[in-house]
Structure 1
């Protein structure tokens, strides 16, 4: 598999899993109960593309500046931390829930703005930075953006069709387990390279 396709596939998978049960997925569900799905999805896509473009820029710059074994070790430790963060779970604050429920202006701009602000410093942004240190920036950007939008589209679809969330506990434990596995494998590979 060439570098672009590997970056695309890995980034899609990691970010899709990271987004399951995340607060922005809960925001997508909340917006979808009030507005049509298409403008909500357009706003999510625009905000995600912008945040992840910034993320891959940061990650690509770090990857060029730091030795790869140390980057792998830091990435592994970051993924273990993401696993712990995922186990802790995310909840919408009352302010975030209120913002999602009372938005009346342009739906695309409102959703995009809310998602952009919610994603700054979020685990999906940090995971995208980490992935970009290891893989090509373009494949990572496309894969992470599509992975997040797919997970949020799933929340919109499930929210609209079923009117309730997926079993949050099962999703949270599964996503955390995947982060732990990725983190341990990356850390072991880095330690072998360093020793």
Structure 2
């Protein structure tokens, strides 16, 4: 396992996922169920999705190196554009997202298994084909190190969901989602530039 790849993957996925709907969904779920059970369910959903992205990334990695690096750089640029385009409405969309996820969750659900299963299903459905999953796929193809990328990506997703469960409301009261979008976009541009530099050197 390459700790540099783990760290790069963790940083990229963390800043992209923090302003995402994952954070809001986990926050809402933790108001309905015991936070630890929510985190377990969400973590399991992320594990499955990250594993799928890693497998697909390994397949993409069979393409020529130049194609993989250019594709990865473009994917990061697309991510930056998406984050920039949604930054302006991020703060208004937050309330709408909270209402949407609250409507999907029944507060009278009983039992640990029910809480874990509900959290798993809500996040699994919400995050399929998400930007972080596409970036994970690209990073596997780029570095050809599925274990390190999996550990970094899953660790970042667990950290984001853990923050949502523990201090989600406090964080949203002090940091605007639009700011997080801009930070995420900047990191995507940086990762794209790094990928092009690696290809050129």
**TM-score if structure 1 supplies the norm length?**
0.87
Q: Is the contact between residue 53 and residue 136 of structure 2 (CA under 8 Å) also seen in structure 1?
A: yes
Q: Is the contact between residue 72 and residue 187 of structure 1 (CA under 8 Å) also seen in structure 2?
A: yes
2:115 to 86, 99, 107: 107
Alpha carbons of structure 1 residues 134 and 86: separation in structure 2 relative to 1, 3 Å: same
Deviations 1:84-124 (A, max 9, x none): 11221564385444114657250100001111111111001
1:123 to 114, 118, 131: 131
- Of the structure 1 ranges 86-95 and 125-134, higher mean CA displacement relative to structure 2 is found in 86-95
Alpha carbons of structure 1 residues 185 and 8: separation in structure 2 relative to 1, 3 Å: closer
Q: Which runs of 5+ in 1 are unaligned?
A: none
- Give the Cα–Cα distance (whole angstroms) in 2 for the partners of residues 182 and 23 of structure 1: 22
Alpha carbons of structure 1 residues 166 and 103: separation in structure 2 relative to 1, 3 Å: farther
1:67 to 38, 54, 64: 64
- Root-mean-square deviation over aligned CA pairs: 2.2
- Give the Cα–Cα distance (whole angstroms) in 2 for the partners of residues 163 and 62 of structure 1: 37
Alpha carbons of structure 1 residues 103 and 175: separation in structure 2 relative to 1, 3 Å: farther
Map of 2:37 onto structure 1: 39
Map of 2:76 onto structure 1: 79
